[in-house]
Structure formats: C-alpha cells, structure tokens
Structure 1
Amino acid sequence: MTTQTSAILLFARSAHLDARDKGMCGGERFIAELTAQTKLKARRAGLPVFHIDEKSQTGTTFGERLGNAMKSIYDQGIEHLLVIGNDSPDLRTKSLQGAVELLEEGKTVFGPTADGGTYLIGINREHFDFESFILLPWQEKNLFEALLYWTLSVGGRCEVLPSLLDLDAPEDCQNWRSPSRFFASRMYQLLLSFLSVRPILRRVWENPDFDLHVSVPFNKGSPY
C-alpha cells in the first residue's frame, strides 16, 4: 500500500486497440509515443502513476471499466485521484500538479475538451459514488456537462481547467498539426509519418485488390 494519498491514473489501452477503434490505421507508433510521453509527464508530477490498460480493466461498459479502475486505486489508500487518457498531447506536468493541489483542497477537477468530453477527471475518494459514476454518458458529447451535474449531486465543488484538444480521430491529428509545434520531436515526426501514409492505407483498406508499391520514409526509433 502506498504511503501517499494522491495519485494519477493513466487509463489508456494498447496502441493497437486504440488505433483500431479510432480509425487510425498506421498510427500505432504515434499512439504508443503519446502514451509514453503522457506517462513521463505524469511521473514528473512527483506522484504514484498507475497505468491500467485493457489487460487489467474489468467491466462490460466503459463506465464500469473506468469506475473499477478508480476503485482499485482508492482501495490502496489513495484519497485524491487524477484520471487522464493518452490522447491530449498539450497536457503539461504543471497542469497536473495544479490539478492535484485543487484536489487536495477538496475540489473536484475537470479538464474539458472541445467535443464535450474531458481530458482530465480529478475526484476525491469522499465524492466518488461508484454506482452513479459508471452510469454517466461516457464517450458521448454531453459527458462534461453531465459530470458537472453529477458533482453537485454528490456534494462536490467543481474547478474547470482550460480546454484542450484530444485526438479521437485522424481528423483531430490533422487539426493538431501546426508549424509551431515540435519539428524535431519523435512524436511530431511519427505524426507526420502517419498523416503522410494515411491516404494510401485508406485505399488499401477500401480496396483489398489495390496494388501497393510505395516507399514512405520513416524513422523507426526505439520500439514500444
């Protein structure tokens, strides 16, 4: 059992499953790098980090799997829990540290996304009502609004962080790409490789008889 009372849960599946369900064929290495970078940012916050992927998740629905994952961490003595995914590349360690401070003041913390979801959920153990939490409209466009009402229903006080983009589809990756971003970084180079090969992969997927003879430059780097 940990002696600390605050922790971060990275709730993220393997790159293979994530890419498949998000329609990001060819984006597995990019997603793996997203996960690795998110985990590194979380560890730099100076808290215990729990990564729960599909191998450790239990439950039939998304809400059940997330709720069970959170409950398993609360049961280890954690009182203040931040939950993040792997698909918000603009999330920073400083934001995580600030969110933990708000949690430890007794507040519930949410980081909204432009599509109505969240990139960060911070809930104190005393405000975590499992039965109602798992029934929230997970993966729906009204999730953030529902979370606000849910917090009031369990007696919590909300603090809302600035909105960030989350990468739920290839189009989101295209929108995130910007000349001002990190040209030399491994993540950005993997993103460019994925976006450059995506139209070809789509043609192969839509037409199994398509004859693929193309060379796409790619810097493999370290495997994950």
Structure 2
Amino acid sequence: MSPLITRTAVLLFSLPASVSAERKELTRWYRNVRYQQRVWEQTTRLTIAKVSTAGLPCLPSSSLPTTDCTRPFGEQLQTAVRAVLSQGYEHVIVIGDDCPDLRVSDLRRAAAALESGQLPVGYDQRGGVFLLGLDQRFLTAGLTDTFGRLPWQTHTLGAALTDFMTASFGCVIGLSATRADWND
C-alpha cells in the first residue's frame, strides 16, 4: 500500500440522499422528491468511484458517529474533519457529492500537495470551494472554532478560507482548475 493511501483519507462531506432531495433541487423541471433522491444517490456513487480510482480511502460523513446534520454547516464540517484525523490519518481531503466536474486528477494532485506539506484548495465558479485539504495542524487549539465560523455556503468562502488557511498554516496552494458545482 502506498504512503498516499495510508496517510490520506477523503472525507465525502454530504447529506444523506433523502435530505439532499428535500433541500437541494437539482432539476427545476422535475420536482419529484423520489426522483431527486435517486439522482443524489447516483452522484454519491459516482463521487465514491472517483475517490476509489484515485487510490484513496473514502469516508462518507454519514458513516461518522459525530456528524449531526441539524447543526450549522461549519460546525458539522469541523466535527467531521476532526473525526477523520482522529482515526489516525495525517491528511484529509474534503469533497462533496455536488461537484460533477471533480476529477480523479484533482484528488491525486490534492493528495500530492498534502504529502509535500501544502494545503490544497479547489475553487468553484461561484467563489466557494469544491475541495480542500487539511492535515493534523487543523487540530491545533483555537483554530477549529474559527474554521467553523467561516462564511460557509457563500460566494465569499473561497477568499475567506484561503485567508484563514494562509494565516493559520501557510503553504496554501490553489488547484489550477475552477470547477462547476450544482449549487447555483
């Protein structure tokens, strides 16, 4: 097993398909919730397949005992990242299931950046992010609370996250491509 696989995990941070179907409308022309749920289940399977192809372990947030989808987004993400890092992984790549443009090469580049001590961020077209990489430094006292209070799910997240990560850790690297997601 390669060091990338044993030291780096991918956190698939997403809601259960049934909740996504209720909260996120993928197709305005077809509002059937059961159909929407099947679409979300398929996007999750596709995302997991990309992670597997990249040769990385995938930990869905729904499999983590500490994730509560009724809490604020930043708090949920903070808790899930801590749970992954506390399982012994040195690095975590965070992605969602709402970025069909995510590529296997994005995951591999992010894993390589983490191995070299850099923290990768993949920006989306709205000013948010589709991928971010963190390491054990994230567990430093005080930083996780600030992380949880970032302007998650807004068009200013990309800049705010980069500022936070640069000030806290340095060594932030942007992935070269900007990707589209389904949150427009």
TM-score of the aligned structures, taking structure 1 as reference length: 0.70
Which amino acid is 1:6 matched to? T
Residue 47 (structure 1) shift: 1.8
1:119 has 2:130 as partner: yes
Distance across 1 between alignment mates of 2:151 and 2:138: 18
Which amino acid is 1:86 matched to? D
Residue 167 (structure 1) shift: 0.5
Residue 144 (structure 1) shift: 0.4
Distance across 1 between alignment mates of 2:121 and 2:37: 28
| 1:187-202 map, 5 Å | none
One of 46, 54, 72 as aligned partner of 1:45: 54
The equivalent of 1:29 in structure 2 is: 38
User: Deviations along 1:35-80, whole A, 9 cap, x unmatched?
Assistant: 1000111112212210013984137211111100000111111111
Q: Which runs of 5+ in 1 are unaligned?
A: 170-224
Residue 155 (structure 1) shift: 2.5
Rg comparison, structure with higher value? 1
Distance across 1 between alignment mates of 2:144 and 2:6: 22
The equivalent of 2:83 in structure 1 is: 72
Identify if the C-alpha distance between structure 1 residues 44 and 109 changes in structure 2 by more than 3 Å, giving closer, same or farther. same
Distance across 1 between alignment mates of 2:73 and 2:157: 13
Q: Contact (CA 8 Å) 1:13, 1:54: kept in 2 or not?
A: no
Distance across 2 between alignment mates of 1:32 and 1:119: 18
Structure 2 residue matching 1:8: 3-state secondary structure? strand
Which amino acid is 1:168 matched to? N
Cα-Cα RMSD: 1.8
1:81 has 2:92 as partner: yes
Q: Contact (CA 8 Å) 1:107, 1:124: kept in 2 or not?
A: no
Distance across 1 between alignment mates of 2:42 and 2:138: 33
What is the percentage of aligned positions where both structures have the same residue? Answer: 32
The equivalent of 1:11 in structure 2 is: 13
Distance across 2 between alignment mates of 1:51 and 1:125: 19
Structure 2 residue matching 1:4: 3-state secondary structure? helix
TM-score of the aligned structures, taking structure 2 as reference length: 0.84
Instruction: Please identify, of 3-12 and 145-154, the stretch whose mean Cα deviation from structure 2 is larger.
Output: 3-12
One of 158, 164, 167 as aligned partner of 1:150: 164
Flag the structure with more relative contact order, 1 or 2, with Cα contacts below 8 A and sequence separation at least 6. Answer: 2
User: Deviations along 1:151-208, whole A, 9 cap, x unmatched?
Assistant: 1221221111111000125xxxxxxxxxxxxxxxxxxxxxxxxxxxxxxxxxxxxxxx
Distance across 2 between alignment mates of 1:72 and 1:55: 7
Q: Contact (CA 8 Å) 1:14, 1:54: kept in 2 or not?
A: no
The equivalent of 1:99 in structure 2 is: 110
Aligned length: 167
| 1:200-219 map, 5 Å | none
Instruction: Please identify, of 90-99 and 140-149, the stretch whose mean Cα deviation from structure 2 is larger.
Output: 90-99
Q: Which runs of 5+ in 2 are unaligned?
A: none
The equivalent of 2:154 in structure 1 is: 140
